[in-house]
Amino acid sequence: MAFTRVIRMNFFNDPVISAGYNIQERYFIIGLVCNADDYGRFWYSSKLIQSQIFPLDEEISSDWADQTLKTLMVDGILCIYEVSGKHYAHFPLWFEKGWCLKQRIDHPRDFGFPDCPMCLTEEKAIIKREVSRTIKDKSNKSNQNENNIVEERVPKSRQMKLIKDSFDDLQEEFPDVDLEDEFEKYSDYLSAHGKQYEDYAAGFRRWLGKIFDFE
């Protein structure tokens, strides 16, 4: 089953892709992305993959597809793994910021292939979404009347860690901001002025929204 995927311009300019793979191989990579499930996984069957991506191209064999899959694995573009005696492959950098084929999928579908036991892409994505949801929930609650907030205060160290864990989501909201640098400034500001907040995530969002005022 093919899915709608995003192919950004940096795929065509990526030095590994453009220098290491010919046009047919680059087309093959795009086809793999479209055939992968929402966590970047697919069944490792060179014959099936060849028929899905090149259904009418008789000159392209399943042996060529198999060899190209192995080359992609050597270059770190794919990871091949085995679960219950069956072989699968996936893109280990599927959700990684900066990767030329990064995908952003807000609500991954439940059906799909088993997770890679080495990379644990699905497990890590679920944890990241839960952390992000926690950050957003706390930020929303900070805008409510203080009398309605009954939850126990989360320690500052824990809140600050959650902020760093949510950098990918924050970068989508503030694409032109160096989050690492601003987080360090924010931390120094808190320490220097002895600031204490009920919700440090909300404070950091306000900081990012008023960077030039703070400077």
Percent of residues, the chain, with pLDDT higher than 70: 81
Comparing 47-56, 90-99, 145-154, the range with the smallest average pLDDT is 145-154
In terms of domains, do 183 and 90 share one?
A: no
In terms of domains, do 103 and 141 share one?
A: no
Average pLDDT value for residue range 25-41: 92
Domain boundary among 92, 114, 136: 114
* Exposure letters 46-69 (e unless 16+ CB within 10 A, then b): beebbebbbeeeeeeeeebbbebb
Beta-ladder partners of 64: none
Q: Which residue has the tokens 């500001």?
A: 189
Domain boundary among 114, 137, 155: 114
What residues make up the domain containing 77? 9-114
Average pLDDT value for residue range 125-154: 61
Q: What is the mean pLDDT of the chain?
A: 82
Residue 11 neighbours by CB under 8 Å, 6+ apart = 17, 30, 100, 101
Task: Locate the DSSP E strands across the chain.
Answer: 41-43, 79-83, 86-90
Straight-line distance from the first to the last Cα atom of the chain, in angstroms, rounded to the nearest whole number: 51
Q: Give pLDDT, residue 56.
A: 92
Structural tokens at position 167: 């950098």
In a domain, 3, yes or no: no
pTM of the model: 0.56
